Amino acid sequence: MNDIARIDKWLWAARIFKTRSFAADACKNGRVTIKGINVKPSHTIKAGEVVSVKKPPVTYSFKVLKTIEQRVGAKLIPEVYENVTDAKQYELLEMSRISGFVDRARGTGRPTKKDRRQIDAFVDPALFGFEEEEDEDEIF
């Protein structure tokens, strides 16, 4: 076991990110911090440091217990880090989960069933009107 490890490898090995490239991208985009300072993917970490990872809308915090660079089984994760995320962050996550599509801005995303019915009610009469005009043109 090494005393130090690269942050991108540790984030992947500790199963915080699905791939190492996702972990590296998070570091490059300023979503991984140690002591409030953004870190590069090549930054080395030691046991005892607290790593903060922003996965909107939550900022998770992990205390490094063991520095590893090889991915381990999910059952061994409690030996690798301790989750020290603030309880308020989980409340924020639950609130965003409850809200769901309630905050969907009008006109974005797929239409709701009600929107679809209003669109159909608006479009259908216009189509029937055009069909009647075309029939009259064909007769004359």
Per-residue pLDDT at 54: 92
Who's near 121: CB < 8 A, 6+ residues apart?
none
Per-residue pLDDT at 130: 55
Residues 73, 79, 80, 85: is their CA dihedral positive or negative? positive
The series of mean pLDDT values per 10 residues for the chain, 140 residues long, is 86 94 94 93 94 90 94 92 88 75 64 83 65 54
> Whole-model pTM?
0.67
Per-residue pLDDT at 80: 93
Structural domains in the chain, sorted by start: 4-101 (3.10.290.10)
Per-residue pLDDT at 48: 93
Per-residue pLDDT at 96: 75
